[in-house]
Amino acid sequence: MKSVPRKRASHTTVRVGARGRVLASVAALAAVLVGCAADAGADATPRGTSASSTSPASPAPTTGSAATPTPEGTLVVADFGSDTVTFVDPRRGSLGSVEVGTAPYGLAVGADGRAWVATAEGVAVVDTRTRTRLALVPYETDSGPVETGEYRGGGMGIALSPDGRRAYVGVNVPGGNGTLEVIDTASREVTATVDVGRRPFDVDVARDGSEVYVTDHDSFDVTVVRADSLSPRRIEVAPYGTEGGLGSWLKPHYAAVRPSDGRLLLPFEGERLVVVDPRTGRSEIEPMTADTHQHGATITPDGTLFVVGTGPIDPSEDEGPSLTVRAPAGTERVYPLDGPHEDVAVSKDGRTAYVTGGFTRDGYWDGITVVDLPSGETTRLAAGARPLGIAVL
């Protein structure tokens, strides 16, 4: 990839030491990361026919091993390396797994305790209280053969409307633009599809449910979709420009909706936070400090932003994997992590972060890093197979 000039951020940072193994070589991690930018399917493994010709909307339920209802505070992770979601007690480990479909990616959990899981085959519906799969909703979009691997077709980002009546899932179509599919959660049927950009990594919804935001990784933009009319419009989000196209590393990955004003927050490289007003399409850039390639992001009700750093693009200049915790005022605390990670969720009391080890590229591991935010102590917890999406029940 052609080198792109990068402005170094200057801002308040506190770095906290991690407990656990330290990477033997940052250069080795950089070798793991090579290829995140390219749109190719070399690691894809065929798993059968296209999703549009497989499962009906309501297959026979698949039951987990729940002897008692799932306790509050349990973690649920999407096992991109298998066909399951895994339930994890953050103190004691796995409570068991439920089969959902090939290569699950993102997930969203509603107030009714049902999880909606984006797989390569369709969206699985899981009762998290009984740990049972209730349905598999096939996609309307033809995303090709059901495969595994980083560039597989099928669902990626997924979110629920505030009232829980609709699920919105970004469907990747290898080699072309993706779609946003709208699912009626009562009937468990796809009711509409909307054209969006390439590789819809993430899907978010406005706090009032009026708009849906699709982060399009390979087209350097966010597609804003009106929930009432389903009319889309694209906003370019490219603080480093679009030079390099599909070969560029400097693309958007995940976004978060700021509670105070509804603006979208998109982190880039631990250097720049792009703040997008979805109504006007205008962007502002604020400095960040982790100086590492960034993926997963989430935000808590008080406006604290959590961003996962996966590791350096250039090990001679960049820092290693980390978790950035950014206060609403813009001050940051950076927690070093041991190895690549992908996504993050936060405990309801705001004292613990759970960071999944199932990085979308090679270099992933089968577990979660538990970060005690006040002390900075980190521990590793075995959890699932290449876990990506995560939620706290």
**Sorting pLDDT into bands at 50, 70 and 90, what band is 188?**
very high
For 57, residues 6+ apart whose C-beta sits below 8 A from its C-beta are 135, 136, 137, 138, 188, 189
**Sorting pLDDT into bands at 50, 70 and 90, what band is 36?**
low
What sign has the CA pseudo-torsion 99, 180, 391, 26?
Answer: positive
Please state, in angstroms and rounded to a whole number, the distance separating the CA atoms of residues 164 and 168.
11
Lowest-confidence pick of 51-65, 102-116, 122-136, 272-286: 51-65
Domains of the chain: 13-392 (2.130.10.10)
Place of tokens 């990594």: 201
Of 359, 337, 312, 316, give the one whose Cα is nearest residue 31: 312
- Residue 35 confidence (pLDDT) above 90: no
- Residue 57 confidence (pLDDT) above 70: no
pTM, rounded to two decimals? 0.88
pLDDT per position as a tens digit, 327-340: 999 999 999 999 99
Please state, in angstroms and rounded to a whole number, the distance separating the CA atoms of residues 267 and 273.
4
Q: What is the mean pLDDT of residues 222-237?
A: 98
Mean residue pLDDT across the chain: 88
Please state, in angstroms and rounded to a whole number, the distance separating the CA atoms of residues 350 and 302.
10
**Sorting pLDDT into bands at 50, 70 and 90, what band is 203?**
very high
Burial of 278 (0-12, 13-18, 19+ CB in 10 A): buried
What integer pLDDT is reported at residue 42 of this predicted model?
40
Phi, psi of 247 (to 5 degrees): -85, 0
**Sorting pLDDT into bands at 50, 70 and 90, what band is 362?**
confident
Residue 281 burial (CB count, 10 A): 14
**Sorting pLDDT into bands at 50, 70 and 90, what band is 281?**
very high
pLDDT per position as a tens digit, 66-85: 568 899 999 999 999 999 99
- Residue 135 confidence (pLDDT) above 70: yes
Residue type at 244 in one-letter notation: G
Please state, in angstroms and rounded to a whole number, the distance separating the CA atoms of residues 172 and 25.
34
